[in-house]
Amino acid sequence: MGQHVSRGPTSFDETQREKVILEQLPQVRYIARCIHARVPPQVLLEDLVHAGILGLLEAVNKYDPNKNVRLHHYAAFRIRGAILDSLRAVDWGTRGLRRKARRIECAVSECKIRFGREPTESEIAAELGVTLDILQHLLGDLRALELVSLQTIGSLDGLSADVLADRVGQDNDAFRQTLQSEIFVLMTKAVGELPQQERQVLVLYHYEELTMKKVGDAMGIGESRVSQLYAKAILRTRVRLHELLRTS
């Protein structure tokens, strides 16, 4: 509300600027709806639309037509980023849930060391000292913490954030780009090592941007099971990423 949107190298005059904004507004609502379908019910669609409009204004103000990227793609990148930033700022996860998530991560790590492989849900539950039902219920609850966990693995219209930022001249710092590129490679490796079912959930949910219900329909399983597999995949990926970062 009343947030300042900085001006950049755009060459639009006021008439062109208004025309471009009106043309891109449907894209704001489309992206907001896609993200809204994947977040907890207490998140209001109109709040996401508002954040997306701020992202659109930022895109129009900073867009440089001399760069090798279409305004439509650049606007999508900025709109999506602004909406995800707004979700991070609100932080829908409670401290208690985050503590439990860290406990599960530690349990997964301990089991991997002990067994020399990816642990089963039963083994993770035993490490935590809880029943399998309790673990699966907790995994379902944890999905709300992972709204943007794997946003670095691909983005709208097939353009990664790093590539797009480089092409439009944003965040053009060589060290930062190299670091992000290395993390992208490690993250992709970590996801590639997941069990097939968990990897499929991430692909359908993040790459295909299906809702949990549609992922379940595609895989022939219930939505609650998809939610559990998704949370477990995220936790495994974090554990593996930490391992790769320590040894790289």
| Same domain, yes or no: 139 and 99 | yes
| Same domain, yes or no: 179 and 234 | yes
| Same domain, yes or no: 27 and 118 | no
The least confident of 3-17, 62-76, 130-144 is: 3-17
Residue 236 in any domain: the answer is: yes
pLDDT digit string, tens, across residues 104-114? 889 998 999 99
The answer to whether residues 161 and 145 touch, using CB atoms and an 8 Å cutoff, is no
Which CATH number goes with the domain that contains 36? 1.10.1740.10
Question: What pLDDT score was predicted for residue 88?
Answer: 72
| Same domain, yes or no: 32 and 83 | yes
| Same domain, yes or no: 113 and 86 | no
| Number of neighbouring beta carbons within 10 Å of residue 164 | 20
pLDDT digit string, tens, across residues 69-103? 788 888 998 998 898 888 776 655 566 777 888 88
| Same domain, yes or no: 114 and 235 | yes
| Number of neighbouring beta carbons within 10 Å of residue 118 | 18
| Same domain, yes or no: 197 and 142 | yes
| Same domain, yes or no: 135 and 180 | yes
| Same domain, yes or no: 121 and 235 | yes
Print the domain residue range for 114.
95-149+173-247
| Same domain, yes or no: 123 and 230 | yes
| Same domain, yes or no: 43 and 139 | no
- Cα–Cα distance between 20 and 120 in angstroms, integer? 52
Q: Could you tell me which residue, 241 or 222, shows the higher pLDDT?
A: 222
Residue 74 in any domain: the answer is: yes
How many distinct structural domains can be found in the chain? Answer: 2
198 pLDDT more than 70: yes
Secondary structure of the chain in the HEC alphabet?
CCCCCCCCCCCCCHHHHHHHHHHHHHHHHHHHHHHHCCCCCCCCHHHHHHHHHHHHHHHHHHCCCCCCCCHHHHHHHHHHHHHHHHHHHHCCCCHHHHHHHHHHHHHHHHHHHHHCCCCCHHHHHHHHCCCHHHHHHHHHHHHHHCCCCCCCCCCHHHCCHHHHHHHCCCCCCHHHHHHHHHHHHHHHHHHHCCCHHHHHHHHHHHHCCCCHHHHHHHHCCCHHHHHHHHHHHHHHHHHHHHHHHHHC
pLDDT digit string, tens, across residues 142-184? 765 554 444 433 333 333 343 344 444 444 455 555 656 677 7
Which CATH number goes with the domain that contains 237? 1.10.10.10
